Structure 1
């Protein structure tokens, strides 16, 4: 795998309309790990893909009515099977972090890449997800060497009090321990 013009090659691309250009003076130097499941706590299906494309049918589940009208995206989504789906080029700003701050710098969407894991805060992630996450992280770090291990964080760390993902079930030690040395 590699990034070509911000797109994972080879890869599955499901383009989201929920993105815009990064500010000209900003370089990408942060990786943010998230989790998502739609409906909450349920896995499988294509609800997340449709949510990131603004195509989620609110009549399919009561929770979908609560999130109707939200326009969000992530650069990548890793399903429980380890399958990676890309929604937004890494050269563009995906709308994954919301109100956020890292190391004193606000608006993390401007300078970060977001990866969503299919999961919840309190259920263990699958081995296949960690394998794909490690491989994807190394591809991203090769293209964006400013993303050191110290600049890989969770949504909970950049939006404390507002977000809790990837949650207590995410094994940071295992994940970071599998990454190679900083470039």
Structure 2
């Protein structure tokens, strides 16, 4: 493993051998947040730094807020896997990956400590400023890989990040009655929902059929933006929140 100077001043180097060239030499324009999903941070770090694991991230944020850099930002870390956003499938080549120590759903999805979240915020602000990353492109692993991945989970405090200037957010609409769509439904309203998800960036197929894939995309959206209930059913709260997020995007509809 080759030593390198950290891009983020608040980090210490812990080199991983698992990286390569960014396709086309492109600069990162996304940040993808993950949880480690393992019993211990030590075990997760060891795994990310083992050559045979074939996985890595650029940064690793401990529960006490300590930050390690595993891969230089100019290199392509192997964190997103099979994923898609805005029609692009090589998310690793366009992103900075941040692993956050948390045992995740297998470990009961405990709360993220305040010191850890403060460190994530500072790191994202620093990366975002240096690379000109737009707020709406700070995303969850589950956003770019719905169904396959669920991290950093529905307890990750996206609203706290947004209040500090990181990520895109609107206050989710309250959950209440009214019309909803679920797996098996078909028709133009389903197609309209799929179109909105696709416009936001999800890899949703626009075919008017509320399939397992559409259900998974809706659940991923809820896990990030409407965390109170993650069920894959497009109720009023989900659709209204999505619509207001789209409306809040810069130049949307221009």
TM-score (norm. length: structure 2): 0.59
Structure with a larger share of its residues in helix: 2
Q: Distance in 2 between matches of 1:23 and 1:5?
A: 22
Cα displacement (A) at 1:180: 6.5
Match of 2:141 in 1: 155
Cα displacement (A) at 1:10: 4.6
Q: Distance in 2 between matches of 1:168 and 1:10?
A: 27
- Structure exhibiting the larger radius of gyration computed from Cα positions: 2
In 2 relative to 1, CA 5–84 (structure 1 residues): closer, same or farther, beyond 3 Å? closer
Q: Distance in 2 between matches of 1:123 and 1:14?
A: 26
Q: In the alignment, does 2:85 pair up with 1:102?
A: yes
Q: Distance in 1 between matches of 2:40 and 2:65?
A: 13
SS state at 2:159 partner:
helix
- Unmatched segments (≥5 aa) in structure 2: 169-254
SS state at 1:114 partner:
strand
In 2 relative to 1, CA 85–181 (structure 1 residues): closer, same or farther, beyond 3 Å? closer
Q: In the alignment, does 2:162 pair up with 1:179?
A: no
Match of 1:126 in 2: 113
Q: In the alignment, does 2:83 pair up with 1:86?
A: no
Q: Distance in 1 between matches of 2:167 and 2:45?
A: 33
Structure with a larger share of its residues in strand: 1
Question: Using CA pairs below 8 Å that are at least 6 residues apart, which structure has the higher relative contact order?
Answer: 1
Cα displacement (A) at 1:6: 6.2
Q: Distance in 2 between matches of 1:156 and 1:142?
A: 24
- Unmatched segments (≥5 aa) in structure 1: 56-68
Q: Give the number of equivalent residue pairs.
A: 161
CA deviation profile, 1:54-78 (whole Å, cap 9, x unmatched) = 17xxxxxxxxxxxxx4310000011
Match of 1:59 in 2: none
TM-score (norm. length: structure 1): 0.81
For the aligned residue pairs, the C-alpha RMSD in angstroms reads 2.1
